[in-house]
């Protein structure tokens, strides 16, 4: 898909200084070609690395205290019982805030595990039972009766024969056992091309489907793809400024 955007714009010109703009000059998005034309292999050894700073050493020792506990107990130091993790679900978490140069834990405490229920609630329940903890009842109700998970969605389309073959082990490798519940987008494209460029590409792809829609060609797949492309563009515009998800 060709995307015409003025790459002489200062915003783009500054961002691409020092790089070969191979894909962009062809008005196409091609991360692989960008990497192939802009990387220099390093063939040396580790001698260029500096020793760990005192702050890093102290922070790592603090982390190791928890890791030693986990190695001894064969269990997590802690994990959530009622919070479905998102990028903003937890309060800020630190190991030792005054020493930290790069901050940000996935939860509000070191080594505290987050819950990823969107893949499937039963896998989480099994982990709770394994470590002698109880899941919050309202949380379980939400992801059992109100919010359909990936796992439940896949089971809903299995036929009775498929379910029996799965249970007996005749069928393996089925797509119902995912814990995270989402495939993460390729964020390198955002850094290389910018939100505006990527959204414009999606808009052109959306418009390209109009003729297929009018002719009634493969309607189900065409309508689904238009819906996904429309959602991608709107999510990018809505969320790109506040740290949320970007569907590109």
Task: Look at residue 23 in the predicted model and tell me its pLDDT.
Answer: 59
DSSP strands (E only) in the chain: 78-84, 112-115
pLDDT under 50: residue ranges of the chain: 181, 237-248
Distance CA 60, CA 110 (A): 11
Distance CA 102, CA 125 (A): 33
Among the three residues 154, 169, 184, which one is the final residue of a domain in this structure?
184
Output the CA angle 42-48-51, nearest 5 degrees. 140
Residue 19 has which token pair? 């790089």
Range of the domain at 190: 10-36+185-239
Residue matched to tokens 């260029």: 48
Distance CA 92, CA 89 (A): 10
Helix (H, G, I), strand (E, B) or coil at 80: strand
Q: Does residue 59 contact residue 100 with C-beta atoms inside 8 Å?
A: yes
Q: Does residue 135 contact residue 125 with C-beta atoms inside 8 Å?
A: yes
Strand partners, 113: 79
136 and 105 housed in the same domain: no
DSSP character at residue 98: G
Task: Look at residue 227 in the predicted model and tell me its pLDDT.
Answer: 85
- Structural domains counted in the chain: 3
Distance CA 172, CA 222 (A): 31
124 and 64 housed in the same domain: no
C-alpha distances out from residue 221 to 13, 141, 155, 157, 158, Å: 38, 34, 22, 18, 21
171 and 196 housed in the same domain: no
61 and 103 housed in the same domain: yes
Task: Look at residue 247 in the predicted model and tell me its pLDDT.
Answer: 41
Task: Look at residue 201 in the predicted model and tell me its pLDDT.
Answer: 83
220 and 234 housed in the same domain: yes
Q: Give residues with Cβ within 8 angstroms of 137, minimum separation 6.
A: none
Backbone φ/ψ region at 201: left (φ over 0), alpha (ψ -120 to 50), beta: alpha
pTM comes to 0.62
Tell which residue, 112, 122, 109, has the closest CA to residue 80.
112
User: Quick check: is 205 in a domain?
Assistant: yes
User: Quick check: is 42 in a domain?
Assistant: no
168 and 195 housed in the same domain: no
120 and 171 housed in the same domain: yes
DSSP character at residue 82: E
226 and 192 housed in the same domain: yes
Residue matched to tokens 């070191």: 110
140 and 127 housed in the same domain: yes
70 and 14 housed in the same domain: no
141 C-beta neighbours (distance < 10 Å), count: 12
User: Quick check: is 4 in a domain?
Assistant: no
Task: Look at residue 72 in the predicted model and tell me its pLDDT.
Answer: 97
Task: Look at residue 15 in the predicted model and tell me its pLDDT.
Answer: 75
Q: How far is CA 132 from the centre of its chain?
A: 29
Distance CA 216, CA 212 (A): 6
């Amino acid at each position: 898909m060709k995307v015409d955007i003025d790459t002489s714009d200062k915003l783009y010109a500054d961002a691409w200084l020092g790089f070969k703009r191979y894909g962009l000059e062809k008005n196409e998005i091609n991360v692989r070609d960008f990497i192939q034309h802009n990387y220099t292999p390093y063939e040396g050894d580790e001698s260029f690395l500096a020793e760990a700073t005192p702050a890093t050493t102290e922070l790592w020792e603090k982390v190791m205290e928890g890791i030693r506990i986990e190695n001894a107990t064969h269990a997590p130091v802690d994990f959530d019982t009622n919070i479905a993790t998102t990028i903003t679900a937890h309060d800020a978490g630190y190991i030792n805030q005054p020493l930290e140069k790069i901050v940000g834990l996935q939860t509000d405490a070191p080594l505290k595990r987050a819950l990823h229920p969107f893949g499937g609630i039963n896998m989480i329940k099994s982990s709770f039972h394994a470590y002698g903890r109880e899941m919050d009842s309202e949380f379980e109700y939400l992801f059992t009766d109100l919010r359909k998970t990936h796992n439940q969605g896949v089971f809903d389309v299995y036929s009775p024969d498929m379910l029996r073959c799965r249970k007996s082990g005749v069928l393996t490798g089925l797509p119902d056992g995912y814990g995270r519940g989402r495939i993460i987008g390729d964020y390198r494209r955002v850094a290389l091309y910018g939100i505006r460029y990527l959204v414009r590409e999606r808009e052109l792809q959306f418009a390209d489907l109009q003729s297929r829609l009018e002719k009634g060609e493969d309607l189900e797949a065409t309508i689904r793809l238009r819906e996904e492309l429309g959602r991608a563009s709107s999510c990018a515009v809505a969320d790109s400024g506040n740290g949320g998800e970007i569907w590109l």
